[in-house]
């Protein structure tokens, strides 16, 4: 009886979670179906499938690409995302390794500051940040990468520190005896072992930076550079008018790369998070 009850409870939980997951998938499905419908039908019948009257093919996609200069925005977003994630991974992993292996008052203070940065609301610093970024001429795709490094360091250092604590110190000591300097020890010994956490942190940071709207809007010179979220926002016209067809189409193009990236790497997320939190 006990096994039968457990089996029934397992099926019930599976059904509940499956139905609950529909709530997360449904908005994506609605956006996708509406991207092939005329604007009037999107406003009146947003939850219906396209039919012979409402279907417009790829007209919304063509119009959206033309209005938003989508490919330039895509290139800007891709450059910022790849550059920021790469810099965050390298710098924060080295920082976490140093903090963990050199435990003293200074490193503990740095660690606490990184952890504290995760609980500070962005709204508290956004105006000051915008002013400083403008003074330092960081209002370009290359400059904003360093801004993202500062905001993304907290979570990354926290996860990397937890994982480094699980790495046996003996393998680093053996490499030191063989004549490796600190950089060689890190990149030849520690770096390969940290792969699960690198993937997990990379996924989390990529999803955040790719979809971020507020930070690029405050920092970038919008006359020259626009990321995808900012370009899509410009489809909203005056007096509240919105080209819903083009906006739905551009939202689909914006979420496809991040969904593909997430699905390709999702199996590493739990593994990396658990590995980085066991001894945090």
**Cβ–Cβ contacts within 10 Å for residue 236, how many?**
11
Q: What is the pTM of this model?
A: 0.84
The reported pLDDT for the residue numbered 244 is 85
Q: Give the residues across from 4 on adjacent strands.
A: none
Is residue 218 within 8 A of residue 198, CB to CB? The reply is: no
Mean pLDDT confidence for 140-153: 91
**Higher pLDDT among residues 167 and 227, named by residue:** 227
Res 256 pLDDT > 70:
yes
> With bands split at pLDDT 50, 70 and 90, how would you rate the model's confidence at 123?
confident
The reported pLDDT for the residue numbered 79 is 96
> With bands split at pLDDT 50, 70 and 90, how would you rate the model's confidence at 115?
confident
Res 278 pLDDT > 70:
no
Q: 15-48 burial string, b = 16+ CB within 10 Å, else e?
A: eeeeeeeeeeeeeeeebebbbbbbbebbeeeeee
Res 5 pLDDT > 60:
no
Domain segments of the chain: what residues? 2-50, 60-277
**Higher pLDDT among residues 77 and 275, named by residue:** 77
> With bands split at pLDDT 50, 70 and 90, how would you rate the model's confidence at 122?
confident
The reported pLDDT for the residue numbered 279 is 44
- Any idea which fold 60-277 has? MetI-like fold (1.10.3720)
Distances (CA, A) of 59 to 30, 225, 229: 18, 26, 20
Res 93 pLDDT > 80:
yes
């Amino acid at each position: 009886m006990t096994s039968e009850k457990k089996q029934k409870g397992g099926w019930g939980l599976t059904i509940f979670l499956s139905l609950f997951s529909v709530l997360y998938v449904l908005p994506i499905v609605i956006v996708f179906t509406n991207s092939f419908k005329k604007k009037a039908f999107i406003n009146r019948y947003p939850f219906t499938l396209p039919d012979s009257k409402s279907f417009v093919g790829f007209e919304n996609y063509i119009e959206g690409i033309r209005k938003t200069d989508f490919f330039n925005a895509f290139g800007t977003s891709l450059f910022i995302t790849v550059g920021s994630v790469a810099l965050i991974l390298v710098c924060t992993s080295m920082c976490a390794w140093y903090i963990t292996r050199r435990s003293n008052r200074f490193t503990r203070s740095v660690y606490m500051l990184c952890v504290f940065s995760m609980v500070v609301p962005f709204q508290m610093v956004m105006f000051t940040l915008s002013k400083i970024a403008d003074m330092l001429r960081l209002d370009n795709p290359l400059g904003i990468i360093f801004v993202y490094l500062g905001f993304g360091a907290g979570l990354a250092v926290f996860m990397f520190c937890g994982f480094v604590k699980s790495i046996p110190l003996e393998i680093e000591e053996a490499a030191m005896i063989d004549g490796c300097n600190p950089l060689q020890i890190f990149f030849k010994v520690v770096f390969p072992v940290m792969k699960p956490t690198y993937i997990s942190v990379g996924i989390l940071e990529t999803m955040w930076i790719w979809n971020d709207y507020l930070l690029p809007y405050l920092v970038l010179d919008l006359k020259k550079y626009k990321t995808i979220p900012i370009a899509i926002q410009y489809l909203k016209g005056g007096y509240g008018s919105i080209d819903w067809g083009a906006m739905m189409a551009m939202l689909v193009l914006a979420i496809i790369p991040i969904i593909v990236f997430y699905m390709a790497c999702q199996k590493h997320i739990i593994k990396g998070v658990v590995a980085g939190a066991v001894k945090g």
